């Protein structure tokens, strides 16, 4: 096996969430890092700026709930001194139980932190081949990897990548929300009343669904045979599964009583604050591939959004990911090259914060390897360990699909527990104990 010295520079390709976290962690550990980011010269179909860790799809890292799986992942990341999590709290905006951020503030702070780190060298170049970068290296280019590098990866792994759509939800000018209709509340009043809720009765809902079905869609030919990820599915694809699907998904009204009636409506569209100034709100779960003009027409049918001005309309782009259980080792290095590591969505995790956590893990795995320490992954009982297991378990290779962190990934309790809430609390307790032992 090739050995590298502590003074050896480590190459990280991609300054998204995973790459930024990985580069900062490695630099903190004392390594010299060369961070490649192409976006100063070459933009992707989805990014709008050249700033690092730009949030494209949503401005939320998901639940912070103490007894939720995403909340546990954040608890563990905090114990591991995640830079991305620290900055997320600095850029936080009200979002109920979720960790929402001001996109511009967040990416600006991460960019500043990276540019000011004395051990990180930034290179704004396109990496077009795996052969052009020295080892050790971490590829964290995300779902929008440059075509030439994606082709190089395909040749490296010897089989086709897997593709799926990712879709972006529209963002609305807060001043154009009709607050005579839309009211602020969180589901079951569990948060601090941060979401705007736009109610629909049965007739309005049915008319809305009909117009979604009739609206013109943008369907690029390259994407026609690919699948959508369940957690980021366009609303029109959900509607194809049945006209009531949205009422049991992003338009679920349960726990949102309309103050004008004292009851929850037939359906609800929720809007989540998108920036610190509260001048922009995004439509929760309303990813779409409808044509821009159609989006404006259809979404203005929503009560409370009759005069909505859209700061950003929904769009779709292609994602790619490796069949990690088949092609990567447990430490997220390539089975064909043990000094070539992968992190972020390209490994088959789905979700901003899950991507971040793989970057954090890879920094630790590389450090272990460079110091000739035995491989020590996060414990299986932890959220980190469960996420790692989900993307490296060989039994998942045949039907591998991207995954968010969820309780189904955590190991079941040794004893049967029928009460779901009690079961979750016990799993969290076990996860925290295991993670703390590993950190110490």
Residue ranges at the known binding site for FAD: 14-19
Burial of 213 (0-12, 13-18, 19+ CB in 10 A): exposed
Q: What's the half-sphere exposure (Cβ side, CA atoms, 13 Å) at 185?
A: 21
Which has the closest alpha carbon to 200: 305, 284, 296, 272?
305
Task: For residue 269, report the phi and psi dihedrals to the nearest 5 degrees.
Answer: -105, 125
**In DSSP terms, which residues pair with 316 in a beta bridge?**
167
Residues within the annotated binding site? 14-19
* Structure tokens given for 368: 């272990």
Q: What is the rounded distance in angstroms from the CA atom of residue 88 to the CA atom of residue 91?
A: 5
315-321 and 162-168 beta bridge pairing:
antiparallel
Q: What is the rounded distance in angstroms from the CA atom of residue 438 to the CA atom of residue 440?
A: 5
Which has the closest alpha carbon to 75: 423, 435, 407, 359?
435
**SS in 3 state form for 10-35?**
EEEECCCHHHHHHHHHHHHCCCCEEE
């Amino acid at each position: 096996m090739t050995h590298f010295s502590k003074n050896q520079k480590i190459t990280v390709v991609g300054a998204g969430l995973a790459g930024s976290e990985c580069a900062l962690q490695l630099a903190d550990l004392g390594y010299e890092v060369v961070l490649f980011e192409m976006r100063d010269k070459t933009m992707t179909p989805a990014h709008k700026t050249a700033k690092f860790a730009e949030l494209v799809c949503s401005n939320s890292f998901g639940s912070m709930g103490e007894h939720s799986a995403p909340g546990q992942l954040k608890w563990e990341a905090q114990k591991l001194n995640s830079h991305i999590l620290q900055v997320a709290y600095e850029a936080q905006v009200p979002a109920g139980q979720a960790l929402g951020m001001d996109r511009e503030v967040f990416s600006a702070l991460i960019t500043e932190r990276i540019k000011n780190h004395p051990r990180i060298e930034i290179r704004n170049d396109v990496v077009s081949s795996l052969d052009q970068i020295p080892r050790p290296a971490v590829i964290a280019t995300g779902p929008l990897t440059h075509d030439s590098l994606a082709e190089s990866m395909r040749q490296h792994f010897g089989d086709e990548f897997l593709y799926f759509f990712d879709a972006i939800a529209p963002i609305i000018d807060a001043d154009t929300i009709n607050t005579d209709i839309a009211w602020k509340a969180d589901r079951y009043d569990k948060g601090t009343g941060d979401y705007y809720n736009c109610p629909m009765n049965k007739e309005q809902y049915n008319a809305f669904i009909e117009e979604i079905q009739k609206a013109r869609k943008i369907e690029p030919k390259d994407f026609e045979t690919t699948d959508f990820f369940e957690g980021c599915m366009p609303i029109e694809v959900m509607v194809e599964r049945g006209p009531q699907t949205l009422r049991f998904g992003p338009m679920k009204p349960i726990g949102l009583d309309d103050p004008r009636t004292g009851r929850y409506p037939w359906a609800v569209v929720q809007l989540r604050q998108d920036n610190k100034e509260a001048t922009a709100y995004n439509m929760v779960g309303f990813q779409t591939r409808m044509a821009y003009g159609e989006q404006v027409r259809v979404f203005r049918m929503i009560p409370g959004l009759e005069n909505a001005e859209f700061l950003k309309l929904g769009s779709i782009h292609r994602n790619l990911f490796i069949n990690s259980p088949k092609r990567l080792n447990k430490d997220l290095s390539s089975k064909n090259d043990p000094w070539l590591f992968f992190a972020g969505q390209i490994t088959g995790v789905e979700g901003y914060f899950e991507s971040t956590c793989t970057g954090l893990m890879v920094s630790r795995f590389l450090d272990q390897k460079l110091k000739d320490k035995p491989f020590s992954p996060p414990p299986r009982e932890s959220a980190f360990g469960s996420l790692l297991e989900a993307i490296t378990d060989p039994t998942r290779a045949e039907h591998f699909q991207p995954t968010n962190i969820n309780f189904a990934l955590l190991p079941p309790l040794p004893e049967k527990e029928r009460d779901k809430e009690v079961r979750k609390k016990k799993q969290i307790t076990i996860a925290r104990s295991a993670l703390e032992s590993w950190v110490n």
